[in-house]
C-alpha cells in the first residue's frame, strides 16, 4: 500500500515568467500531474465516466508555500505523500525539491464523487479497491 510517490520533471520555457522563474500557478498543475502519475502507477484510472461509478476527485482545498525559485531548465522532483485518508476524501502533501533543496510545499484535499441520475456530483465513500491501495504516510516521511 503506497503512501508516497515521486515524479521528476524539467521546467519548460512556457512555464516561466519574463525573468525565467516558474510562474506560481504551475506548481498546482504539477501537483495534479504527479497525482495522475501516482494513480497510473497503481493501475487505477483517476477519472471514470461510467454512470454510477466514481467520476472524479474534485478539489475542496489547495495551497502552496514557496521557498526557493525554480527556473527554466531546472530538473526537480515532485514528491507526493498521502497525508490523510478519510471515508470520502484524501489529502496529499507535495514537496518540490531541486538538488535536495526544498523549493515549495503544497497540499491538496480531493473528495471522491459519483454522478447522480441528473449528472450532479455527489460525494461517496472511496471504493474499497482504491482505498486498499492507499496508506497514510508516517510522520517520519515528511523530513
Task: List, as one string, the DSSP characters of 19-76.
Answer: TSBBPTHHHHHHHHHHHHHHHHHHT--S---STTSEEE--EEEEEEEE-S--BTT-EE
pTM: 0.93
Element of type H or E holding 132: none
- Count CB neighbours of 71 within 10 A: 14
pLDDT tens by residue, 86-128: 999 999 999 999 999 999 999 999 999 988 878 788 999 998 9
Grid cell 486498499 in the structure block, residue: 132
Residues 6+ apart with CB under 8 A from 122: 113, 114, 115, 116
CA distances (Å), 60 to each of 27, 41, 95, 106, 125, in order? 17, 24, 19, 14, 15
What CATH number does the domain located at 4-136 have?
A: 3.10.129.10
Is residue 6 very low, low, confident or very high in pLDDT (cuts 50, 70, 90)?
very high
Residue 50 or residue 140, greater confidence: 140
Amino acid at each position: 500500500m503506497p503512501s508516497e510517490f515521486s515524479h521528476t520533471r524539467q521546467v519548460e520555457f512556457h512555464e516561466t515568467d519574463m525573468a525565467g522563474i516558474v510562474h506560481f500557478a504551475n506548481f498546482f498543475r504539477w501537483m495534479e500531474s504527479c497525482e495522475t502519475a501516482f494513480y497510473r502507477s497503481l493501475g487505477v484510472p483517476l477519472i471514470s465516466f461510467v454512470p454510477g461509478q466514481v467520476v472524479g476527485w474534485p478539489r475542496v482545498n489547495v495551497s502552496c508555500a514557496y521557498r526557493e525559485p525554480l527556473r527554466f531548465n531546472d530538473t526537480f522532483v515532485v514528491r507526493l505523500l498521502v497525508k490523510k485518508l478519510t471515508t470520502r476524501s484524501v489529502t496529499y502533501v507535495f514537496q518540490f525539491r531541486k538538488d535536495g533543496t526544498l523549493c515549495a510545499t503544497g497540499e491538496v484535499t480531493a473528495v471522491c464523487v459519483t454522478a447522480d441520475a441528473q449528472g450532479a456530483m455527489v460525494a461517496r465513500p472511496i471504493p474499497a479497491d482504491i482505498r486498499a491501495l492507499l496508506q497514510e504516510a508516517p510522520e517520519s516521511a515528511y523530513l
